[in-house]
Amino acid sequence: MNQAGKLKFMSENTSSLQIVCPSCSAINRVPSEKLSDNPVCGKCRNPLVTGQPINATDQSISRILEKSSLPVVVDCWAPWCGPCLNFAPTFSEVAAEMSTEAIFLKLDTEANQQTAARFQIRSIPTLMLFYQGKLVAQMAGALPKHQFQEWLREEMSKLD
């Protein structure tokens, strides 16, 4: 096989993902099989997959939603909301367990009112699932861990 044939074969058999760095917002390409190998950002050298939810802002959320190859799960919450605070550890646990399957964002709706208005968040907590920049599922209310995982896996199974 000549060099051009090898390159074509390699590109067809290696899928890479776009990951937005949670530290500097640089877009990184990571081979899907290397996602669990603790990849680092090519620009700032910080970890790309931390296993922790990323705090999103009005300024950062669009880039993450539009440029991430992985599904993006958003927890819309507020610091004064009891159910939101009770759900936070569950969201963090699932983010750690599914860190190579999806990007997990926390959006403080009080501090980021533009984004809350953009997605018409009327009650909190609200969970949203995005894929390829599009909202594909939304649910209001806090869930126990098992139900949250079940909802998320069911919705993610419908993608592509």
* pLDDT score of 73: 98
Per-residue b/e over 90-107, b at no fewer than 16 CB within 10 Å?
bbbebbeebbeebbbbbb
42 and 60 assigned to the same domain? no
Per-residue pLDDT tens for 39-64?
999 999 999 999 999 999 999 999 99
Residue 8 belongs to some domain of the structure:
no
Domain that holds residue 120: 51-160
Q: Which two tokens stand for residue 10?
A: 């390699």
Residue 2 belongs to some domain of the structure:
no
78 and 141 assigned to the same domain? yes
SS (HEC) of the chain: CCHHHHHHHHHHHCCEEEEECCCCCCEEEEEHHHCCCCCECCCCCCECCCCCCEEECCCCHHHHHHHCCCCEEEEEECCCCHHHHHHHHHHHHHHHHCCCCCEEEEEECCCCHHHHHHCCCCCCCEEEEEECCEEEEEEECCCCHHHHHHHHHHHHHCCC
Residue 7 belongs to some domain of the structure:
no
56 and 44 assigned to the same domain? no
Taking the C-alpha atoms of residue 58 and residue 83, their distance in angstroms, rounded to an integer, is 23
62 and 44 assigned to the same domain? no
Catalytic option among 21, 41, 76, 84: 84
* pLDDT score of 14: 53
Residue 123 belongs to some domain of the structure:
yes
- Domain of 33, CATH number, reads 2.30.30.380
Residue 139 belongs to some domain of the structure:
yes
Total domain count, the chain: 2
**Known catalytic membership, residue 24:** no
Per-residue pLDDT tens for 79-110?
999 999 999 999 999 999 999 999 999 999 99
Per-residue pLDDT tens for 101-159?
999 999 999 999 999 999 999 999 999 999 999 999 999 999 999 999 999 999 999 99
Q: Say what the pTM is.
A: 0.88
130 and 72 assigned to the same domain? yes
**Known catalytic membership, residue 76:** no
36 and 115 assigned to the same domain? no
Residue 95 belongs to some domain of the structure:
yes
